[in-house]
Amino acid sequence: MVTRSGIIGALMNAHAHPYTELAARLAHVVPAAEIALAAPLIARIEALKAVHGALILAHNYQTPLVSAVADFTGDSLAMAQFALEAPARTLVVCGVRFMAETVKLLCPDKRVLLSAEEAGCSLADSIDAEAVRAVRAACPGVPAVAYINTSAAVKAEVDVCCTSANAVRVVRALGVPRVIMLPDQHLAGFVAQESGVEVVAWGGQCEVHTRFDAADIRAFRLDAAVTILAHPECPQAVRAEADFVGSTGAMAKFLSERRPPRAMLLTECAMADNVAVQCPDIQFVRPCNLCPHMKATTLERVVQALETLTVPIEIDPALATRARRPIARMLEIG
């Protein structure tokens, strides 16, 4: 009889390099047995990438094993900037649909694949193009800023896009006293607080970040050693309890530079796992929440995307031309 341990041993021997190195690197966040079982999938992904001249882009909220096969991992802005310069015919986006659409807008001549067709976003689903037009009609002359977490159709209706990393900078760069900001009401509140600009906000919110509660967070303050970091999509009361508020990229930079002994990330759970790979000396307290859309991506789904070249992202050329302008303006601001 072949035991589970025997299978794992055989896999590790069959894929000794580079998977033994990967097992060592991920040892404190992914069991070696899980890495061993994933080894054939990882090998298949690497082979298919070579066949199709493909690169894989993964958001910070992907699991460590998905991040391990990615050629680039980062937040929405960093993914967009990487895609713009990526030397590849095919780009596989391990994230959600609006991210894949953004990559396609920036790279119209490349094949862009979304690894999980059902990977949507509660924020992107909270507003459509018709709603944007209605808000703009109610606020004539006020520039409209769309969070990157929106569909291409919504982006086509606004003046400039932003991410959580550059939202304050984008709003300040407009040089106006009042802006429309959509769809996340909590990010809008953060931007108003930090920029001093009056913000007309839409009522959308992230299903992950709004599950955090300020009262629950306060309990962790009994541990004086813990450093609390919150995403701007968290409610204001939660952000007020944090030592640092910033995008996923900003969180990773903060932790890499400061190296607190204990940290708590008020964002999607996989973020802590991915940062822990780079900062194994930090102990993470984990009152985090899972995003069902991000977790739709698995190694199996990445293999399927590369084997079948699905799910391709296609955007009407006329719509794409309009949607590309606010993204380009965002990238010019930085």
Strand order of the sheet with strand 160-162? 160-162, 144-147, 178-182, 198-201
User: For 269-297, how does the pLDDT look when each residue is reduced to its tens digit (9 = 90+)?
Assistant: 999 999 999 999 999 998 779 999 999 99
Is a pLDDT exceeding 50 seen at residue 72?
yes
User: For 157-210, how does the pLDDT look when each residue is reduced to its tens digit (9 = 90+)?
Assistant: 999 999 999 999 999 999 999 999 999 999 999 999 999 999 999 999 999 999
Structural domains counted in the chain: 3
d(CA 204, CA 208): 12
Which DSSP helix (H) or strand (E) runs through 279?
none
Q: Is the bond into 232 cis (omega within 30 degrees of 0)? A: no
How high is the pLDDT of residue 306?
98
Say how many C-beta atoms besides its own lie within 10 A of residue 6's C-beta: 10
Strand partners, 139: none
Angle, vertex CA 57, rays to CA 76 and CA 91, nearest 5:
115
Is a pLDDT exceeding 70 seen at residue 319?
yes
Q: For the chain, what percent of residues have pLDDT higher than 70?
A: 95
User: Quick check: is 316 in a domain?
Assistant: no
CB of 229 closer than 8 Å to CB of 246: yes
User: For 218-242, how does the pLDDT look when each residue is reduced to its tens digit (9 = 90+)?
Assistant: 888 887 789 999 999 999 999 999 9
User: pTM for the full model?
Assistant: 0.91
How high is the pLDDT of residue 188?
98
Q: Half-sphere exposure of 320 toward its Cβ, with a 13 Å CA cutoff?
A: 15
How high is the pLDDT of residue 5?
34
Whether residues 130 and 197 share a domain: the answer is: yes
Is a pLDDT exceeding 70 seen at residue 13?
no
User: Quick check: is 333 in a domain?
Assistant: no
User: For 105-135, how does the pLDDT look when each residue is reduced to its tens digit (9 = 90+)?
Assistant: 999 999 999 999 999 999 999 999 999 999 9
Q: Which domain holds residue 167?
A: 124-206
Whether residues 71 and 23 share a domain: the answer is: yes
User: Quick check: is 315 in a domain?
Assistant: no
Which DSSP helix (H) or strand (E) runs through 93?
strand 90-94
CB of 254 closer than 8 Å to CB of 67: no
**CATH, residue 182:** 3.40.50.10800
The four Cα atoms 231, 233, 234, 236 give a dihedral, to 10 degrees, of: 110
